[in-house]
Amino acid sequence: MGLVNFIKLKKELGLLDIIAISTGSMISAGFFLLPGIAAQQAGPSVFLAYLFAAFLIMPAMFSMAELSTATPKAGGGYFFIDRSLGPMFGTIGGVGNYLAVILKTAFALVGIGAYAALFFEVPVKLTALVAGFVFMVMNILGVKKASGLQKVFVFILLVILVLFMAEGLREIFLTPDRDQYLGNFTPFLPEGFGALMSTTGLVFVSYLGLTQIASMAEEIKDPERNIPLGLILSLAITTVIYVAGVFVMVAVIPPQELWQDLAPASTAASRVASLVSSETGVLLIVVAAASAFASTGNAGLMTASRFPLAMARDGLFPGVFTRIGRFNTPVVSVVVTSAILFFIILVLTETNIARMASSFLLLIFILINASVIVMRKSRIEAYDPGYHSPFYPWMQVFGIITSFFLIIYLGWGPGLFTMGIAALSALWYWYYARKRTAREGAIYHWFALLGQKEHKPLEVELLSILKEKGLREGDPFGEMIVTAAITDLDRKRISFETLVSDVSAKFAREIKDADRERLKKEFMDVTAIDPALIIPRVSILYGNAENIDHPVLHIVLSGRGVRKPVMKGEIYSEDHIRVFFFMLSRADEPKQQLRILSRLMDIVERDGFVDTITGIKNHREIREYLLHNDRYITLHLQGGTPQGDFINKSLKEIKFPNDVLVAMVQRKERIFTPRGDTVLRENDIITIIGEPRGIKTLYSLYTHTRAPDY
């Protein structure tokens, strides 16, 4: 089955959105409801369970950051697992992650009802259902609206919790009752270390928000920076709040009372408030709890709905889940997810929800850690994460082992239920999805290294993801275009083999120690990603060379067309190629080569590309057409215009923005790359490349027009 083009979700989420969604998803029931339940097992050491859980989740967090920056697609954990371990494990991981998020969301919505019942005589579950309906409507209206609401919730939450922790720590350590408070920590491990580890597994659900960011990676701006930074900051903020907040609860609430308290945060607030009255302190905590539960409910529904969308794109779920509504949101997926959420609220207890969610989460973390190992071992060149997990592979191995043991510590009930869902997911794949998918994961590339088969289309898909991600800062695409050689064959007749030989000979003359025959072989070899580079009347040929500082390019245009054999899958044909790109890259920069090839493909796929570029006769204009985006500007130096100030000045005398560079000068018919002492003359045409901010500044200063939006 070929790759299908679906409507893409807009990249609307920045770093603050990520922190708000992730932090808001984590600080809810784990703080306001769970400490009392968890203290029944661990006793006063319960705050350490939150610290241990944060530490043990770090391998999965680093693995998710790496996988998310390599494949920023909707579905997060599901997508990673599917593309690495194959669609059967992808189905198991997708269903497990989907249910874990829904269970956590249900837990939060029930919390809204429970805290509302402290002030109003309303049924807990009815309140939860109403809140769920409100969030369903918000998520249908649009992710930006939902994430904007999320930031408000989280801001309120953090302000109140910081005040609570400051007041609590002051009360514990700076009042005459210090010894009494600290006495509540004895005995510290009443049920032993095993009980503490069992509690660590129970509170794991408190950190589920980390997985929710990965599931929304397709909608995150600058994912290679924002995803890892957002995950790390969210975990740090949440860990401090959990550990310090639960420490305060243990200190100010006697053990027997804490074990029975389903609202320990409000109880603790009533005993530590000094800046405000006890009643006001409780009210503030209730407001914080409402904000926390609302943020978790909102973010949970937002991210859970992306799992059916991603799985339907791959044929694992019915295609109806891929439908995007008028507000650019997956409406069907949101509605179905909400229905499952309402069912869970009606039939399950809070404790069962927490245990099952934690068990599912730990299974997902095992698969995600394994996915990083498989992706790296597969040696797929198009796997190009912007962030690499530290301490690979020991970090991942540690995460797999500890997650497995925490599932055991949770008890047989949650473990067996998780295994049962995994088995049902495997059956669903075998009888429904298997015949609708024709792909395998990166693990088959690992097998290929051992002499087994591999799945070539995966490399093509990863290359298409590279194209969506764009160039990385420092990639010398602009320099390559500016220095590219251009040959116009016009109507000249030439064979494909002769053309490749002539271009190889030209490169061999210009590159030290380059061998013509080896270069020719490089251009003629067929690789796994070649199917992704095929477009009518265009051919992109590439290879590697030593002794070059950056990629070099030779562009050949033909009015007549050059007959070239074309292979796509099992189909062989011929095409009359009118535009050739011959590119050589450094052998030690394979990832950069793929990013630049992806950028070339993005340009080639412009509407009317072939007719446009072959109709341009000026080499400068050809280069400008290829460079055309928010990273370049062309200025014609004429007297009486703002840019006329450049005339008769050397480049080093002109004050340009720091992040731009004059890459090319056209003087009459001559085109050359300038140096710092190059003096500009009237009627010169200069091409400037650089960062978008600097280019936008030049637009406003020298063109009297508004910089275009890209």
Check pLDDT > 50 for residue 625.
yes
Q: Which of 82-96, 140-154, 542-556, 651-665 has the lowest mean pLDDT?
A: 140-154
570 and 595: one domain?
Answer: yes
Pair (620, 687) in one structural domain = no
Query: Of 164-173, 249-258, 696-705, which range is least confident?
Result: 696-705
- Tell whether 361 is covered by a domain: yes
* CATH code of the domain covering residue 671: 3.30.70.1450
Whether residue 109 is contained in a domain is answered as yes
Tell me phi and psi for residue 86, to 5 degrees.
Answer: 105, 165
Q: What is the pLDDT of residue 529?
A: 66
**Quick one: tokens of 331?**
């409406």
What CATH number does residue 298 fall under?
1.20.1740.10
Identify the residue with better confidence: 641 or 680.
680
Domain shared by 258 and 308, yes or no:
yes
Name 149's Cβ contacts closer than 8 Å, sequence gap at least 6. Answer: 138, 298
pLDDT band at 498 (very low <50, low <70, confident <90, very high): very high
The reported pLDDT for the residue numbered 525 is 80
The reply to whether 221 and 245 lie within a common domain is yes
Q: With bands split at pLDDT 50, 70 and 90, how would you rate the model's confidence at 709?
A: very low
pLDDT score at 583 = 94
Residues 321 and 234 in one domain: yes
Q: Is residue 599 part of a domain?
A: yes
Q: Are residues 62 and 115 in the same domain?
A: yes
Residue 689 and residue 601 in one domain: no
| Cα–Cα distance for residue pair 279/276, rounded to 1 Å | 8
pLDDT tens for each residue of 315-324: 778 878 877 7
User: Residue 480 falls within a domain, yes or no?
Assistant: yes
* Residue 656 backbone class (left: φ over 0; alpha: ψ -120 to 50; beta: rest): beta
Domain range for 540 is 474-624
**What is the per-residue pLDDT across 363-379, written as a single tens digit (0 to 9) for each?**
888 988 988 888 888 77
H helices of 493-561, in order, are: 496-510, 516-524
Segment among 89-103, 199-213, 411-425, 463-477 with least mean pLDDT: 463-477
CA atoms within 13 A on the CB side of 568: 13
Q: What is the pLDDT of residue 470?
A: 67
User: Residue 55 falls within a domain, yes or no?
Assistant: yes
Does residue 502 carry a pLDDT above 90? yes
707 pLDDT exceeds 50? no
Please state which of the ranges 266-270, 422-426, 563-567 shows the lowest mean pLDDT.
563-567
Same domain as 620, residue 633:
no
Q: 279 is written with which tokens?
A: 């009643």
Tell me the pLDDT band of 501, cut-offs 50, 70 and 90: very high
CA distances from 320 to 4, 209, 333, 360, 430 (A): 14, 27, 8, 26, 20
Instruction: Looking at the structure, tell me whether residues 596 and 541 fall in a common domain.
Output: yes
Identify whether 249 is part of a domain. Answer: yes
pLDDT at position 390: 92
Count structural domains, the chain. 3
CB 26 within 8 A of CB 238: yes
Q: Mean pLDDT across the stretch 22-32? A: 78
Q: Is the C-alpha dihedral spanning 482, 487, 491, 497 positive or negative? A: negative
Domain boundary (624, 641, 659) is at 624
Residues 6+ apart with CB under 8 A from 84: 67, 370, 371, 372, 374, 375, 378, 441, 442, 443
Q: Which of 624, 659, 675 is the last residue of a domain?
A: 624
**Do residue 687 and residue 583 come from a single domain?**
no
Residue 4 pLDDT: 38
Q: Is 649 helix (H, G, I), strand (E, B) or coil?
A: coil
User: Is residue 452 assigned to a domain?
Assistant: no
Residue 458 domain flag: no
User: Do both 397 and 523 map to the same domain?
Assistant: no
Final residue in a domain of this structure, among 624, 659, 685 = 624
CA distance 251 to 178: 9
CB 623 within 8 A of CB 672: no
Q: How confident is the model at residue 648 (pLDDT cuts 50, 70, 90)?
A: very high
* Same-domain status, 367 and 491: no
DSSP type of residue 73: -
Give which of 61, 56, 107, 70 is closest to 304, Cα–Cα.
107
- In terms of Cβ atoms closer than 10 Å to its own Cβ (0-12, 13-18, 19+), residue 476 is middle
What digits encode the pLDDT tens for the residues 410-467? 877 788 888 888 899 889 888 887 777 755 545 444 444 444 445 455 666 666 666 6
Which residue, among 668, 121, 103, 53, has the nearest Cα to 355 in the 3D structure?
103
**CA-closest candidate to residue 20, choices 134, 158, 138, 219:** 158
Tokens of 558: 């033909």
